[in-house]
Amino acid sequence: MKKISYVIPCYRSENTLKNVVDEINKTMLTVTDKYIYEIVLVNDCSPDNTYKVIEELAAMQTNVLGINLAKNFGQHAAIMAGIHYITGDILVCLDDDGQTPANEVFKLIDKLEKGEDVVYARYRQKKHSLFRNFGSAVNEKMLQIMLGKPKELYVSSYFAARRFVVDEMLRYDKSYPYLMGLVLRSTRRIVNVDVNHRDREVGESGYTFGKLLALWMNGFTAFSVTPLRLSTYAGTIFAFLGFAYGIYTIIKHFISGKAPIGYASMMSAFMFIGGMILIMLGLVGEYIGRMYIGMNNAPQYVIRDMTGENK
């Protein structure tokens, strides 16, 4: 009998988390002859009573494990914290707000049983805000350019993966985990299945503009050197344009005796090129900074306490 491990990162979900767990329980009751399951709930230092709810759930169910992080490490680090404590053959990650339908989990698992390694839920119609949808679109394009994600593959926070993929993800012990990067370096047998996406019942998304920027930067620099290569290409192009403009100025001077002048155009060029240089230096600095933090063994996450019989 196979075991399914549910990992749910939790943030500001005191009013929705019980419903999500109840839906998982009801869904698993229909397959008791094939699967057993566990639920790992990771509180990412939520400012509300989310961890109190997790403690209540762990007290009621012996297959629920609660993890309380010491500070907010972000969704990907919270998932990694949960993954370290699962014991199942199949990993399932979903959201804590009820928008990802736990009762459709076997659409994902059936694909795994047919030979796929990772299955991502693809939503027929997303019920996120315009801002969140824009962030998702940018993240999709970034994954294509930086990590070589297939264009047709849709990535979401609702996915299922085989155990060997989980074990490969656990080999990454550095700071700034990025789940899609870990998945793509493990396998290319990744597919989508269509599921429904629900309206948010209460509250709002925990992803602020700052968190989205941090996520994009993490994706840029965690598993790809493409930004550095783009910087090299951009520097080469601007150097060539500068050289060509210098040749043009000399030829113009000898032909007409007049060289192009203009304080405004010169300053614009300096400002533009200077800005590009600073961006490139910033990218290099980001890589060096992450190497420095990694050398200092900065943790992916820090656990304050745990609750549940399996702790």
Dump pLDDT digits (tens) for 127-178: 555 655 666 666 677 667 666 778 888 888 999 999 999 999 999 888 878 8
- Mind giving me the DSSP string for 121-189? EEESS--S-HHHHHHHHHHHHHHHHHH---TT----S-EEEEHHHHHHHHT--SSS--HHHHHHTT-S-
What pLDDT band is residue 185 in, cutting at 50, 70 and 90?
confident
Mean pLDDT score, 199-223:
60
Q: Is residue 250 domain-shared with residue 215, that is, in the same domain? A: no
Dump pLDDT digits (tens) for 213-254: 665 566 666 666 666 667 777 777 776 777 777 677 777 767
Mean pLDDT in the chain?
A: 82
- Residue-range definition of the domain harbouring residue 195: 2-224+298-307
Q: Is residue 250 domain-shared with residue 136, that is, in the same domain? A: no
> Can you give the length of the chain in residues?
311
Mean pLDDT score, 74-95:
95
Does residue 310 register a pLDDT over 80? no
- Count up the domains in the chain and report the number: 2
Q: Is residue 108 domain-shared with residue 37, that is, in the same domain? A: yes
Which residue would you say has higher pLDDT here, 229 or 73?
Answer: 73
Does residue 191 register a pLDDT over 70? yes
Neighbours of 212 (CB within 10 A): 18
- For residues 161 and 7, what is the distance between their CA atoms, to the nearest angstrom? 12
What's the CATH code of the domain at 179? 3.90.550.10
Q: Is residue 66 domain-shared with residue 167, that is, in the same domain? A: yes
Dump pLDDT digits (tens) for 239-298: 677 777 767 777 776 777 665 566 545 656 676 777 677 777 777 777 776 676 666 677
- For residues 7 and 181, what is the distance between their CA atoms, to the nearest angstrom? 18
Q: Is residue 21 domain-shared with residue 98, that is, in the same domain? A: yes
Q: Is residue 200 domain-shared with residue 246, that is, in the same domain? A: no
pLDDT at 302: 93
Q: Is residue 135 domain-shared with residue 18, that is, in the same domain? A: yes
Q: How big, in percent rounded to 5, are the helix, strand and coil portions of the chain?
A: 50, 15, 35
Q: Is residue 176 domain-shared with residue 230, that is, in the same domain? A: no
pLDDT at 36: 96
| C-alpha torsion sign, points 273, 276, 280, 282 | positive
Q: Is residue 241 domain-shared with residue 125, that is, in the same domain? A: no
pTM, two decimals, is: 0.75
Q: Is residue 137 domain-shared with residue 195, that is, in the same domain? A: yes
Q: Is residue 203 domain-shared with residue 237, that is, in the same domain? A: no
Q: Is residue 217 domain-shared with residue 241, that is, in the same domain? A: no
Q: 134 near 147, Cβ under 8 Å?
A: no
